[in-house]
Structure 1
Amino acid sequence: MSIEIMGLLLILLIYLVISQWFLKRKLHIKEVRKSILSGYRKKRYVYTEFLLFILLFVSTFYMIEDLGAFSFLPLFMFFLLTNVLRGIEEWIENRSEKGYYHDWLSSVAFLIIIIFLLIV
């Protein structure tokens, strides 16, 4: 296996151990599932997430030739920013349940993946 695949699998394994074993089982923090179409979300978060999706589409469409080997960057940045936004939303709306830890852990995992792939 190449070093990229091994590194990504190691990052995924560390993320799963922290998320599933530590946050869910040890700290009993439930993960809150959200989507852009969830009915209970406030409009400002939905609009911001929709704007991020539009920016992903535009950046992928216009910059795909310029990015070359870094064509993964817009998609991973979208996932990173979406998880940060959802973490902030959960932190503001339901701070006591601490579900934002899962979103922020996902953001950190995507940031580490981006940095790893840019270095390697």
Structure 2
Amino acid sequence: MNTFTIVGLVIAFTIFLFLTQFYLKRRFNIHKWKGLTFKERNKYSIATELAIFFLFLYSYLSLNVESMNSAYSPIVRTSPMFGLFFLLSIKRGFEEWLLNRDQKVYYFEWVGSLLIIVAFFIIFIGER
């Protein structure tokens, strides 16, 4: 990793911590919460997450087979992983928004998904 990538990731993570720990917690008075993992969840929600996971698995394996291994750069080959975490964060934030809109916990998921996208673009630009 070059200096731009490391500094960019540190800055993005610092902004993420500032937004979640200081701004969102104080503004919306959100303390510890249990995420959707610990609750009873809808069958369709679990099925959607499984579909996202299988799409990730298919795209990851199709980009990383041995015959095409040198055709793509490492950041392109790892992009399905960023896509998986981004889509899961957006989906879980949307699910929290639908089920527990008054608790405003969905902001944490959406800020996390923003961090994932920013980190991907920092690594993409820095490793070119």
Same-fold call, TM > 0.5?
yes
Aligned equivalent of 1:79, options 85, 93, 101: 85
> Which is bigger in relative contact order (C-alpha 8 A, separation at least 6)?
2
Secondary structure, in 3 states, of the residue corresponding to 1:67?
coil
Q: Quick one: distance in 1 between partners of 2:30 and 2:72?
A: 39
Count of matched residue pairs: 118
In structure 1, the partner of 2:35 is 33
Aligned equivalent of 1:98, options 94, 97, 104: 104
In structure 2, the partner of 1:118 is 124
1:39, distance to aligned residue in structure 2 (A): 4.7
Cα distance 1:67–1:32, how it changes in 2: closer, same or farther (>3 A)? farther
TM-score if structure 2 supplies the norm length? 0.82
Q: Is the 8 A contact 1:15 1:105 kept in 2?
A: yes
Aligned equivalent of 2:114, options 100, 108, 114: 108
Bigger Rg, structure 1 or 2: 2
Secondary structure, in 3 states, of the residue corresponding to 2:30?
coil
Consecutive unaligned residues in structure 1, runs of 5 or more? none
Runs of 4+ more than 4 Å apart: none
CA-to-aligned-CA distance 1:48-106 (integer Å, 9 cap, x gap): 11111111111111112343222221111100000000011011111111111001111
Q: Quick one: distance in 2 between partners of 1:106 and 1:32?
A: 16
In structure 2, the partner of 1:4 is 5
In structure 2, the partner of 1:67 is 72
TM-score if structure 1 supplies the norm length? 0.87
Q: Is the 8 A contact 1:32 1:99 kept in 2?
A: no
